[in-house]
Amino acid sequence: LRFDETKETEVVRHDGKRSDGYLEHIFKHAAKELFGMDVKEITYKTLKNKDFQEVTLEKDGETVLRFAAAYGFRNIQNMVLKLKKGKFLYHFVEVLACPGGCLNGKGQAQSEDGKPDKALLRQMEEVYTSIPVRLPETNVHVQRMYQDWLEGLDSKKVQETLHTKYSAENQTASSLDIKW
């Protein structure tokens, strides 16, 4: 498969209302694959501030998925500190450096004086949400890549190429410790 041979006839996007929608796509996919649940709408719960939000999935009265969106360095720093203390309960965290997400990033939706242009940001979000959603797994080019290059969905090549294994590391006296 050569990607320069493919011609897209339309612009499509992933799930989510803004540029930060990977959390939504992964949450819905995990709910379906792990728990057989079709999630149509996601509800974000704002925690300490508008740039740290949580999404949970409950099944039989138990929280089975807990995702978070952490935007801005203050929230990222707090997340890292909680991770170090072993008090971070999330299965997945979407991290974006810009408060408010990428569309609110430096040089994006700002007026001439460098302040956020809320009207322009709203307009950009409206344009983005008007683009049709196409799930990656329904893309014919992705399907061909799995079939032709990766030798099937559950092949050894898929495991080697697309999957990562994590393991705990023992801290040693000589290791560098990042102080936030």
Q: Specify whether 55 is located in the same domain as 108.
A: yes
What is the extent of the structural domain holding 121? 22-131
| N residues, the chain | 180
| Position 9 in a domain | no
Q: In a structure prediction context, what are the per-residue pLDDT tens digits for the chain, which is 180 residues long?
A: 445 554 555 666 666 655 566 888 889 989 999 999 999 888 889 988 888 999 999 999 999 999 998 888 888 898 888 888 888 889 999 888 877 666 666 556 667 777 777 787 788 778 877 878 777 777 788 888 889 989 988 899 988 888 887 776 665 554 555 555
Total tally of structural domains belonging to the chain: 2
- Which tokens hold the place of 92? 């997945």
pLDDT in tens, 52-64: 999 999 999 999 9
Radius of gyration, alpha carbons of the chain: 20
Q: Specify whether 91 is located in the same domain as 111.
A: yes
Query: Going by DSSP bridges, is the β-strand pair 45-46/52-59 parallel, antiparallel, or unpaired?
Result: antiparallel
| Position 71 in a domain | yes
Q: Specify whether 28 is located in the same domain as 73.
A: yes
Q: Specify whether 110 is located in the same domain as 86.
A: yes
pTM for this model (two decimals): 0.66
pLDDT in tens, 3-29: 555 455 566 666 665 556 688 888 998
| Position 27 in a domain | yes
- Which tokens hold the place of 174? 């000589």
Could you tell me which residues are beta bridge partners of residue 38? none
Q: Specify whether 66 is located in the same domain as 30.
A: yes
| Position 178 in a domain | no
- Which tokens hold the place of 4? 């320069």
Q: Give the separation between CA 60 and CA 155, rounded to whole angstroms.
A: 34
**Do the Cβ atoms of 67 and 94 come closer than 8 Å?**
yes
Q: Specify whether 92 is located in the same domain as 106.
A: yes
